[in-house]
Amino acid sequence: MSTFDPAALECLAAIVEEGGFERAARRLHITQSAVSQRLRALEAQVGSVLIVRSRPLRPTNAGQLLLKHTKQLRLLRADLDRDLQDLAPSAPGGVREDERIAIAINADSIATWALDALGDLVRQRLPLEIIADDQDFTQEWLRSGQVLGCVTTLKNALRGCRVVPLGAMRYVAVAAPGLARRHLPQGLTAHNFRSVSFVSFNRKDDMQAEFVMRTFGLKRAALSRVFVPSSEGQVRAVVAGWGVSVVPELLARPLLAEGRLVDLAPGHSLPVQLYWHSWNLESQVLDALADALTTAAARSLSG
């Protein structure tokens, strides 16, 4: 089995993670020429192209395998650093700033319960990188080897991974009181949902249509949508009267209590089951991440 130069592997990772050679060079504190040389040497050793020079840059299949290997090495170093910290608590952390432990979490979890879950680990100097995406797509980051774990709606474990159920995040349909009085005086119904705009996270977000279809027993629901790519931003847009939105009840609860939002379908909510997936490796860091997330989810999410 070939032994790969760790510096060359981190160079490959930097190119992909930073999206280019120049930014990778700045991150690694070397010249752009040195970045190219390290990549060429690694490609010569593997016997295959590792980066597709497209816009944006993307790894080839061989490149993805080496990226996954690089992240596994980072995980081993992070585990070693935790062990050394236990033996010598006053010693400085050993994991470099550019050797991030990357996980993917859906934006709604980031906006509600997940950051509290991870706070202790960050304060222990775990070099964490959180990548945000829609909950139906975070597993693609794990599938491609770009992250060590993800919070997702996917129930079945990916190949080489383990899965832990977290609980259900409940979503409710809300609007500003003024908009509701003007356009939806009877609340949201199967006959009037087309008369208002829905505030969605992005074009991949089908939460709004899913809520309408399930609540009213429809097979299809064509919505007029505006897009705000932030969970908190969606709620702010709704409060400002931009339209209706289906948002986490955890986010809406205080605004409902204050009267700044109204529930458009009382008694109806959309539960979305979440799961934590991670590589199936023996690792203190992965175990700590799983424990932190499951403990916090048990407090915040429905069983």
| CA proximity to 249, closest of 236, 233, 230, 268 | 268
The structural domains of the chain, ordered by start, are 1-94 (1.10.10.10), 169-270 (3.40.190.10)
Mean pLDDT confidence for 204-232 = 94
Position 303 scores a pLDDT of 67
Strand partners of residue 52: 58
Mean pLDDT confidence for 53-58 = 82
Tokens of 72: 């596994």
3-state secondary structure of 94: coil
- pLDDT higher than 70, residue 14: yes
Neighbouring CB atoms inside 10 A of 189's CB total: 14
Q: The pTM is what?
A: 0.76
| 165 class by beta-carbon count within 10 Å (0-12 exposed, 13-18 middle, 19+ buried) | middle
Position 188 scores a pLDDT of 96
Tokens of 235: 């709620």
Position 159 scores a pLDDT of 83
Position 219 scores a pLDDT of 93
Q: Looking at this protein, which amino acid is placed at residue 222?
A: A
Q: Looking at this protein, which amino acid is placed at residue 121?
A: L
Highest averaged pLDDT of the listed ranges 39-48, 88-97, 122-131, 162-171: 162-171
Tokens of 159: 């190949």
DSSP string, 145-192: TS-SEEEES--SPPTTEEEEEEEEEEEEEEE-HHHHHHH-TT-S-TTT
Query: Using 50, 70 and 90 to split pLDDT, how confident is the model at 197?
Result: very high
Mean pLDDT confidence for 59-78 = 86
Q: Quick one: how far is CA 32 from the chain centroid?
A: 30
- pLDDT higher than 60, residue 30: yes
Query: Using 50, 70 and 90 to split pLDDT, how confident is the model at 189?
Result: very high
In tens, the pLDDT along 86-129 reads 655 544 444 455 567 889 999 999 999 999 999 999 998 888 99
In tens, the pLDDT along 242-270 reads 999 999 999 999 999 999 999 999 999 99
Position 186 scores a pLDDT of 93
In tens, the pLDDT along 268-301 reads 999 999 999 998 888 888 999 999 999 999 999 9
Position 91 scores a pLDDT of 47
Position 94 scores a pLDDT of 47
Position 98 scores a pLDDT of 57
Question: Using CA atoms, how far apart are residues 49 and 63, in angstroms rounded to an integer?
Answer: 8
Residues 169, 112: contact at Cβ < 8 Å?
yes
Position 48 scores a pLDDT of 86
φ/ψ bin of 232: left (φ > 0), alpha (ψ from -120 to 50), beta (otherwise): alpha
Tokens of 79: 């585990």
Position 92 scores a pLDDT of 47
Task: Tell me the CA distances in angstroms from 16 to 34, 42, 213, one per residue in order.
Answer: 16, 14, 39
